[in-house]
Amino acid sequence: MLYTLADILPAVAASFGSGTHNPLGFVPNRDVVVLLIDGLGAELLARHRDLTPTLTARATTTLTAGFPATTATSLTSLALGAPCATHGIIGYSFAVPAAGGVRLFNSLRWRFDSATGDDAREAFPPETVQPGTSRLQDLAAHGVEVHYVVPEYQVRSGLTRASFRAPGTLHPAATLDEVRAGILEVATHPGTGSRFAYAYFPDLDSTGHIYGPESSEALAVLREIDAFAAGLLTDLPDTCTLVITGDHGMIHADNAVDLDTRDGLLRGVRLIAGEARVRHIYLDRAEAAADTLARWSAELAADAHVVSREQALDEHWFGPTPPAPVIADRIGDLIAVAEGRSVLLRPEHEPLESAMIGHHGARTPDEQLVPLITSR
């Protein structure tokens, strides 16, 4: 059976004696740190074993990120122990109700209209958008002390408020040295009480987006991460279990489809959300869905698989449990999933994202598979 990111924290909780669902077989220990390396794909790791001897040697299994394979969705699935059909962060961006219809909401940046648009935290409170209880809250209720080893801005971000939810001690960390120091600070306390820390490092993902996941620049970051892991594992006390994983992998885009210039595709379309590998298409009229699906499928036949919302839900793309109506309404009337190394760009509306070389979100092994690496 292939497990997912959503199985990690239930297994952590079980190792602390909170709950019995331990699908990953984590053994009890005083402290646990989960370190998420943004963009660490299992396929990337397998192709570059020579650069990653420590990570490769400690890899115990492979997980799936879940669909779509994108940071906002994956981090929420990790924190909630549930897929996005349950938690509702169904993509990088999606439509939300607004006066006169719908408005694009960027869940990663928690902004309206674009990644650089108006701050949505006040008008669209994170705790309302995602009201579910996180597994970190469960750990805190069980008496486990919660810590965060993350860039300082993240503890105030809309996504963190929506996903992780539990108050905790911050160890600001933007570099690998700072991540190492923060984790060791969490793990080297003299007490007998348990601690859990969520740690995060973004540079592999950001470098892969700019230069490509197999670029010399990205592979240099991967090499640095492995050296960091080797040093950390040497100094980490036996009373702390370290778990390392990723939120998605990445592909190098070779074929760009400019949606902004395809007038035939845009006819009858109110809003296009998502990202270059997974698009949510919202229509002016729901009754036009069949015709629009046929048009998109024909024009993008070589580049994408296009389905209706109903088909995606019937096939459980977003998780095995049917979503609540408010979550189902966030999903596009149509969904276009890029295939091969194609990307569905919107240069006019998304200039920053459209300039990227590396992308993720879709259903290929390069995007979906992430490693599970453990110290024990």
- Judgement on whether residues 178 and 263 belong to the same structural domain of the protein: no
Tokens of 280: 């949510």
Q: Is the separation of the CB atoms in 157 and 142 below 8 Å?
A: no
Q: Is residue 103 part of a domain?
A: no
Place 371 in a pLDDT band, splitting at 50, 70 and 90. Answer: very high
Alpha-carbon dihedral angle through residues 313, 317, 319, 322, given to the nearest 10 degrees = 0
- Judgement on whether residues 80 and 144 belong to the same structural domain of the protein: yes
Place 100 in a pLDDT band, splitting at 50, 70 and 90. Answer: confident
The mean pLDDT value for 220-239 works out to: 98
Considering the chain, what is the average pLDDT of its residues? 96
Amino acid at site 77: S
Place 99 in a pLDDT band, splitting at 50, 70 and 90. Answer: confident
- Say what the pLDDT of residue 53 is: 98
Q: What tens digit of pLDDT does each residue of 170-189 get?
A: 999 999 999 999 999 999 99
Q: Is the separation of the CB atoms in 252 and 360 below 8 Å?
A: no
Angstrom distance (rounded) from CA 141 to CA 272: 40
Q: Is residue 281 part of a domain?
A: yes
Q: Is residue 109 part of a domain?
A: no
For residue 254, which of 142, 343, 360 has the smallest C-alpha distance?
Answer: 343
- Judgement on whether residues 60 and 155 belong to the same structural domain of the protein: yes
- Judgement on whether residues 136 and 275 belong to the same structural domain of the protein: no
Percent of the chain having pLDDT more than 70? 100
Place 20 in a pLDDT band, splitting at 50, 70 and 90. Answer: confident
pLDDT at residue 1 tops 90: no
Q: Is residue 312 part of a domain?
A: yes
Percent of the chain having pLDDT more than 90? 95
Domain CATH number, residue 274: 3.30.1360.110
The mean pLDDT value for 80-97 works out to: 97
Scan for tokens 């990227």, then name that residue: 356
pLDDT at residue 19 tops 80: no
Angstrom distance (rounded) from CA 113 to CA 93: 9
pLDDT at residue 364 tops 90: yes
- Say what the pLDDT of residue 75 is: 98
pLDDT at residue 101 tops 90: no
Structural domain containing residue 158: 5-89+130-251+364-374
Tokens of 369: 């598979």
Q: What are phi and psi of 59, to 5 degrees?
A: -70, 125
- Judgement on whether residues 37 and 158 belong to the same structural domain of the protein: yes
Number of H helices, E strands in the chain: 17, 18
How many CB atoms are closer than 10 A to CB 274? 24
How many CB atoms are closer than 10 A to CB 216? 8
